[in-house]
Chains A and B, each alone.
Chain A
Amino acid sequence: MAVQMVMGFLAALTFGYIFRVPAGESIRCGLVGCLGWTIFLAAQGPVGEVGAVFLAATAVAVASEVLARRRHQPVIVFLTPGIIPIVPGSKAYLTMLSFVQKDYAEGLVLLVTTLFLAGAVAAGIIITSSIFRSHTSTKPVGR
């Protein structure tokens, strides 16, 4: 478990670097990623894969919104690297691979799983940021 937590941290940290987040924020990006991956691993047993991804995505989105406001950075600075460990990128890849290798039955199962997981990630982000948007007054720009 400890190794996995470090890997979640490492994945978010390095992907933050690939997406070129501001240098001073990369450790925080890694911590957000570690949070998401830890919650996913912990919740996977009790609530299943899709539920765990939803919970993890919600936690990552909340952490990103809070950090963004505290550090005066755009939300995507933390959200993009932080969400990386729980995005079903590997499942999407395996789906495509099954189809090109003519294993259609396996491909369909993987496809449906990927869609549900991606939907859970999107739902977690969307619900969280809508709540944050409706509860924070953006500074007027003279509209």
Chain B
Amino acid sequence: MEELVGLILKAGELLLTCGAEMARVEETIERMGRAAGFSAVESYATPTGLFVSLHAPDGRVYTRVKRIRGGHSNIALIAEVNSLSRAFAAGKITAEELRYALERLQEEGAGNAAARPLIGGGGALAFAMMVGGSWLEGLVAGVVGALVLFVVSRMERRFPKVIQAAAGSMVAAAAVTIVGQRLSINTNIAILGAVMVLAPGLVITTAIRDLLSGELVSGLSRSAEALVIAVAIAAGVAVVLSLGGA
């Protein structure tokens, strides 16, 4: 029983660090707890902490608290844990297999990190073009966006998300300003495209979905997180622009 409790807690922790919605975390814990043979399962998930209480048929109650720190968006991992928990509930995999799979998922973590800046640069290019930029402005945004993602990936795990966003947007503004002195481009559009790679997209979507399913605490705290990151991005750009005399 003790081992199963740890397993359930691990699944919940993985989901939370990857940015899953609260309803999904609690549903997964409930599903796994039932499948593991507990008679009652209570869980309470927030973006920064997880509380689980499992009632065994013999009357014992296992209660655990897990502090959730940091983490980064990883939808693929959410999908993996989700289907693993379903397979476990349907009896297709044993607890031992589940534990092995969860441990492997946790180790894999970020995955192919090297290609992310390059592909993210494509996103920056697309954004600059979508707000009406020229091909040249898109290209500058794309290159700078890739640079921003590279800088941010170097800072991952060592700095909070807010600092990463501020530093990333400062890099974006500085790089575009320097390039803008050589080329005749609308620097505002290029900066806008480049900083979009820092936008807290997953946080916003899960905040809306959490609020919708009545998870007020996590919905509001995620909205606050998105707002703080947005302010940090704008502040980073503003600091550089005002120093550069633009």
Contact = CB atoms under 8 A, between A and B. Distances in A.
B197 A18 contact: yes
B209 A7 contact: no
Contacts of A129: 209, 212
B192 interface: yes
Interface residues of B, number: 55
B34 A15 contact: no
A57 to B, nearest CB: 10
A97 B209 contact: no
Given A80-B202, A89-B199, A97-B238, A73 B120 contact: no
A14 B123 CA distance: 5
A96 B188 CA distance: 13
Nearest to A15: B123
B76 A22 contact: yes
A4 B213 CA distance: 34
A127 to B, nearest CB: 10
B119 A93 contact: no
A100 B127 CA distance: 23
Given A17-B116, A17-B120, A76 B129 contact: no
A101 interface: yes
Interface in B106-144: 111, 115-116, 119-123, 125-127, 129-131
B196 interface: yes
A71 to B, nearest CB: 10
Interface string B60-71: 000000000000
Contacts of B119: 14, 17-18
Given A21-B75, A76-B205, A93 B127 contact: no
A20 B74 contact: yes
A31 B66 CA distance: 38
B147 interface: no
Contacts of A3: 129
Given A19-B75, A75-B209, 15 more contacts: A4-B130, A8-B126, A15-B201, A20-B73, A20-B76, A20-B77, A21-B75, A22-B75, A72-B83, A76-B202, A79-B205, A80-B202, A87-B204, A89-B127, A125-B208
9 contacts: A8-B126, A11-B127, A20-B73, A20-B74, A21-B75, A74-B79, A92-B230, A96-B238, A121-B208
